[in-house]
A and B are shown apart, each in its own frame.
Chain A
């Protein structure tokens, strides 16, 4: 069949860059999780590893978020996104070596950046902590990869355009845009006063909403119908959803500045935008949830789909919670607490990362032409991740809400009810222990994931090696069947 051979050709063209992106993504995921674990332990046991300046709390918490966002998020997004673009364009990637170069430089930049943070060269600007010697490389390599994504789209086979292509192109285009703008306004030509803060929140909100989210949603739009063998509820609505997401998300970050040193209108605009974002969120929810509604047995059985559906449900929930958190009366309490961290973990881990796991489970066998060696490890990965992240969200939302209500409670005589700040800190500690436990659970899942991938690589290398011997023996006129060919 022509399409079969074509897709295997596409997969072959994506094999090396895909492996580079996917494997480094997993390496960064593990690194980031180690940092997150240390951070969490330190937040309850401040004396832990306290004499090492490199591993002081401020360094490792920033190193952790940067490893996850740029190391794991970026690599996973590029690998999965470009592969889906090529698949839907039905043409192999032109000159994949350029992608390899882009990917190598991206990873060099993230390594330099995270290393810089660890040695104290950090900027202390949220999610832009990397020092200047890393950011330039990061920006340039993201442009290179983005241009390659555009080329893949440009030279696609003539035919219809699918919603995932739009989402992934958008993510590839928006990242350099927001990243370079933020770098300029914050570091190269620093804006005056709080305009920096405004820029920082604009960037941070868009990093999730216009970079990770489109990639996750694009992958879900591709994987759900493909695996279920059924079109999504409404492609027409999907387009409306995409463009309204593009229109509203950019403004939403301002709601985080409530009560801060900015004019009230900025915050109001942010709140209105956050509420308006419910429009695309509901459209996406309709499309994703109605499509899988009556096939939950399939969702439970398919390893990729399980992760993807968990991710789409998390997207809906995280967005709804984010919308509620943006309201003034709620953010008065939740602002500056772990609730906000919980909401960003809800997006980054429960939504984006889970969908990417699903995409990895779908994509790896295809580019390696090999099946997953262990279903048990996949099971373990799913349940550890699902339970772990749920526990983490409960811990973060819970501790933050307690922290927030106790910090803002005012008694009858205008004095704070919980006047002792340190007591409030102590009240959150049991919840933070729960967070440490949840990260441990999550890392068990990730180890299962990494082990499965390593095992698969070994299998693939062996079958490749055997295949070569087979070809050689074929040439000598002997028949030889590699034992793995049976699967």
Chain B
């Protein structure tokens, strides 16, 4: 049954020609051994005993390693050995107090009109410094921040006429609370009112949901200025 194909190299022609299998023989042997293996469950199924031991070890290792370091498939755990700490207690849904930087938020959202020093622009945008609208109960200020205000408004004896856009869709409750707190309690501006809590903003948001901006009169009716 020798293969009469050309030999592969000159020096090994004898060896090579002697005992090559043809494709037919290869396949026949294959079928024979396969049938044997399936027939009595032994035959060519022989795995060296050491290999069996190694396979078992592999699976034990895989199982232990996986259960130990898969961190419950949490997308925010990067150190499999450390605590799933990266997000802090909030990850468990606890109501921790988040420290928001009111000054930074003020600078991003408010300075275009009220200016960095809180003095506003004469005739257009009222000042926040020493303003009665800002002091006292926070409701007034937060309500304006949420829904905006249009038309004329009198602050510290001067009249301003412009539009303040609503921020309810742009900022979250805690951001509004942080900005209001910053403005109300800024000692540089002569303000020292209480801080505003996120819950207060949430409450006001649901209580005063409306599609249009406030008029100054409406606000004064709901939340009169302290005298």
Chain A residues with CB under 8 A of B159: none
- Taking A226-B26, A236-B38 as known contacts, 11 extra A-B pairs with beta carbons closer than 8 A to each other, sorted by chain A number, are A4-B22, A88-B27, A90-B27, A162-B26, A228-B19, A234-B47, A264-B74, A265-B70, A278-B58, A303-B12, A366-B5
Among B22, B29, B45, B71, contact of A231 (Cβ-Cβ < 8 Å): B29
Is the pair A372, B8 in contact by a Cβ cutoff of 8 Å? Answer: yes
CA distance A237 to B12 in the complex (A): 32
A345 at the interface (CB under 8 A from B): no
Q: B75-83, B165-173, B187-195: which one contacts chain A?
A: B75-83
A365 touches B6 (CB 8 A): yes
Closest residue to A372 on the B side, CB-wise?
B9
B158 nearest CB across to chain A (Å) = 51
Q: How many A-B residue pairs have CB under 8 A?
A: 171
A residues near B69, Cβ cutoff 8 Å: 264-265, 268, 271
Interface size for chain B: under 10, 10 to 19, 20 to 34, or 35 or more residues?
Answer: 35 or more
Contacting pair B24 A3 (CB below 8 A)? yes
Alpha-carbon gap, A236 to B69, bound state (A)? 35
- A236/B65 contact (C-beta < 8 A), A263-B76, A302-B12, A372-B8 known: no
Query: Are B66 and A235 in touch, CB under 8 angstroms?
Result: no
Flag if B71 contacts A271 (CB, 8 Å). Answer: no
Interface string of B16-41 (1 = CB under 8 A from A): 10111111101111110110011000
Binding site for B on A (CB under 8 A): 3-4, 7-8, 87-88, 90, 159-160, 162-163, 222, 225-231, 233-237, 261-265, 267-269, 271-272, 275-276, 278-279, 282-283, 286, 298, 301-304, 328, 361-362, 365-366, 369-372, 374-375, 378, 487
Is there an interface contact between A286 and B10, defined as CB atoms closer than 8 Å? no
Check if A265 sits within 8 Å of B77, measured CB to CB: yes
Subset of 22 A-B contacts with CB under 8 Å = A4-B3, A4-B4, A160-B34, A222-B26, A225-B26, A230-B21, A231-B29, A234-B33, A236-B38, A263-B74, A264-B69, A268-B65, A268-B71, A272-B66, A279-B55, A301-B16, A361-B9, A365-B8, A366-B6, A371-B10, A371-B13, A378-B9
On whether the beta carbons of B34 and A229 are closer than 8 Å, the reply is no
Which residue from A226, A264, A278, A378 sits with its C-beta under 8 Å from B54?
A: A278
Check A235 against B4 for contact (C-beta < 8 Å).
Answer: no
Whole-angstrom distance between the alpha carbons of A230 and B30 in the complex?
Answer: 10
* Given contact pairs A268-B66, A268-B80, A234 touches B24 in the complex (Cβ within 8 A): no
Within the complex, the shortest CB–CB distance from A385 to chain B, in Å, comes to 16
Name the residue in B24, B26, B27, B33 with the highest tally of chain A Cβ atoms < 10 Å from its Cβ: B26
Residues of chain B touching chain A, judged by Cβ–Cβ distance below 8 Å, are 3-13, 15-16, 18-24, 26-31, 33-34, 37-38, 43-48, 51, 54-55, 58-59, 61-62, 65-66, 69-80
Say whether, besides A90-B23, A236-B44, A375-B9, A268 and B70 are in contact (CB < 8 Å): yes
Residue of B3, B9, B13, B77 near A264 (CB, 8 A) is: B77
6 closest Cβ contacts across the A-B interface?
Answer: A229-B19, A264-B80, A234-B44, A160-B31, A236-B37, A268-B69
Given known A88-B23, A286-B47, contact A236–B34 (CB-CB < 8 A): yes
**Cβ of B92 to closest chain A Cβ, rounded Å:** 18
Q: Contact between B22 and A234 (Cβ–Cβ < 8 Å)?
A: no
Q: How far is the CB of A117 from chain B (nearest CB, A)?
A: 33
Q: Who on chain B is nearest to A227 by CB?
A: B20
Contacts of B79 in A (CB 8 A): 264
Instruction: Compute how far the CA of A279 lies from the CA of B65 in the bound complex, rounded to whole angstroms.
Output: 16
Cα A370 to Cα B5 in complex, Å, equals 9
In the complex, what distance in Å separates the CA atom of A234 from the CA atom of B48?
Answer: 11
Contact A7 B6 (CB under 8 A): no
Cβ A233 vs Cβ B44 within 8 A? yes
A231 touching B74 by the CB < 8 A rule? no
Q: Do A298 and B80 touch across chains, with their CB atoms under 8 A apart? A: no
A13 and B23 alpha carbons, distance in the complex (Å): 16
Max count, chain A CB within 10 A of own CB: residue among B18, B28, B70: B70
Contact of B62 among A159, A162, A276 (CB under 8 A): A276
Whether A160 contacts B27 by the Cβ 8 Å rule is yes
Contact between chains at A7 and B23 (CB < 8 Å): yes
Question: If the complex has contacts A4-B4, A276-B58, are A263 and B37 also in contact, measured as CB distance less than 8 A?
Answer: no
